[in-house]
Amino acid sequence: MLLFIPFLGYLYSVLRQAEGEDGWLSATAFGAGLVDLTIKLGSIAPSFAAKEGLAPQLHDTLRKMNSVAFMVTMLPIGMMLAAVAIVILKTRIFPLWLGLLAAITSPACVINGMFLDAQFGPAFLLFLLWVTIASIVMTLRVGRTDAKATSPASARPEPAR
């Protein structure tokens, strides 16, 4: 979970660069990702407390709190992916198919997140798939960006005309 923070940081920087100074979608994606992480981290305490020898009603209540928190995280995830999809589809900063996958996953997460009594979040699996693929794409992008930045041809100034 903690590796999600640097993931969000790098994603924000790339989206912000593509979107420009006046863009707000990159900040929306970053903020929604942090909200998701905050809810997830906050749900650890009730789950951990439920492991102790408690009265059955209290145990069930703490477990239910954790389950509802998991479903609620789908809402900011959906918002994050919607913002990411729009920036990718507008700017093509990442491959088009990655933007389309985000665009498909976003409403799936929002719809899944509306069912607070659900025991399973299948849209979360789509989100995990998207994060895994996006991580690979961004890692490959860093290597290409660094190589371009350090190449001798790019260091030479343009001739004056």
The tens-digit pLDDT sequence of the chain (161 residues) is 889 999 999 999 999 999 998 999 999 999 999 999 999 999 888 878 877 677 888 888 888 888 899 999 999 999 999 999 999 999 999 999 999 999 999 999 999 999 988 878 899 999 999 999 999 999 998 766 543 433 344 444 455 54
pLDDT at 17: 95
Q: What is the span of the domain harbouring residue 75?
A: 4-140
Does 104 fall in a domain? Answer: yes
Question: Distance (Å, rounded) from C-alpha 40 to C-alpha 43?
Answer: 5
Cα atoms in the Cβ-side hemisphere of radius 13 Å centred on 97 = 2
Does 28 fall in a domain? Answer: yes
Does 74 fall in a domain? Answer: yes
Does 155 fall in a domain? Answer: no
Does 83 fall in a domain? Answer: yes
